[in-house]
Amino acid sequence: MTDLASLTIHALHELLKNKKASAVEATQAVLQRIEAFDQHIGSYITVCPEIALAQAGAADKVIAAGNIQTLTGIPLGPKDIYLTKGIQTTCASAILKGYVPPYDATVIAKCLEQDCVLVGKTNMDEFAMGSSTETSHYKKTHNPWDLERIPGGSSGGSAAAVAADLCIASLGTDTGGSIRQPASHCGIVGLKPTYGRVSRYGTIAFASSLDQMGPMTKDVRDCALLMNVMAGFDKRDSTSINRPVPDYTKVLGQSVKGLRIGVPKEFFGKGIATDVHDTVKTALKKLEELGAILVEVALPNTEYAVATYYILAPAEASSNLARYDGVRFGLRGPGKSIQEMYENTKGTGFGSEVKRRIMLGTYVLSSGYYDAYYLKAQKARTIILRDFQKAFENVDIIAGPVAPTTAFRLGEKTDDPLQMYLSDILTISTNLAALPGMSLPCGFGEGGMPIGLQLIGQAFDEETLLRTAHAFEQATLWHKAKPKF
């Protein structure tokens, strides 16, 4: 029965549909693996077996009635940034410990409408601020491929859980690479959709103009299937875009012959590890063998992406995190006055990285510094977007590495925030430009650690990303590799 946990969404769906397995059996298989292995990996903050088994039982009744849908009976482990009615949602912060939301995030509600199973909530960097899942208040997550290494972040718990078969798939979020970077480090598929393609309603905000929700899966078909459920307009989200949602699975299996793939020279320069450089170049050659045309393009302002991001994202965070005041929900610190209560609540409730970003964001928005920092960063963001627009005049998609190196060791960069921030240098610009991007396994580097190939598309052209990724996946075996767990 434990083999059920290793299946993809589409493989498990076929077994459930044909009555060769039950949702309860699949859920028990996943829960057994969590109990056996998550003590070593630390991918979950909250596990809810009673709720999961009750949902699985309900799903089996739906299946028996012949009403099975894509996610019916499928055990999911969403990131602990999505509000889940009746299940603790902490965003990996002490300030929300014990908080149980009264409603579901739109994306969670869409999955539950198909009678999915929520086995728990995965670990993450606190308020999604981090690249290694080391800033969580509750625990550090370990990479299933090497327990001494980080899984990436901020959706590190989700990536580790998918890689180690502790869920069938997960829902992550990506503000500056938080789906793609951990997907690369853990050898799974992760997609950051176009900004506005998936509703942000009910997802705890970090930087509202950058946050986007997306699937983290075992293969490309699962990614497309989950996008079919997640994508769509939501009137409760003011940034949601009202445009039709295609069936993303229809492009799978189509040829990439004649597809023009842009290869930015800036993605292969100084700071890119040799094993990453060579592995990604080999992957690009494979796409060329499949009929794609490689074209060198320039994204000359890539070097400014990190600086731009770390002005804009903290500025938005300083505003979004003001709501955690100890009055309405979450932790409430002691104090004889409102000021003292606020100070004690936030002083003890927020971790050091969150405090750092709040202070940085408040500084760049303050009187006398707004024009010098925030306004200039907004202008730089526009220039970065124009780089992509110019490149896309000649190519269909852009490809390169996801991260400069494979997963680094736990604790290696915690005392050097700048080096930690630079680990997202190849993913941040996609968020700044509001474009879709994804990571898929393309090989292994030194120490047997996974390496991801990053594909970046034009706005709302997730279909071309999925078509290209699927063609590469079917021509290789990297997605079938599993860690020792």
Longest CA pairwise span in the chain (Å): 70
**CA distances, 134 to each of 21, 172, 324, 331, 483 (Å):** 37, 17, 22, 21, 21
Cβ contact 92:123 at 8 Å: yes
Sign, CA dihedral 459-460-462-463, equals: negative
SS3 assignment, position 359: helix
Strand pairing report for 293-297 and 260-264: parallel
Residue type, 13: H
SS3 assignment, position 241: coil
CB atoms within 10 A of CB 290: 16
Q: How far apart are CA 189 and CA 216, in angstroms?
A: 6
Let me know how long the chain is: 485
Residues 6 or more apart from 285 whose CB is under 8 A from it? none
Catalytic residue positions, numbered: 79, 154, 178
Residue type, 225: L
Q: How far apart are CA 229 and CA 385, in angstroms?
A: 28
Between CA 224 and CA 298, with CA 475 as vertex, the angle to 5 degrees is: 75
Residue type, 123: N
Residue from 178, 108, 112 nearest 437 by CA:
178
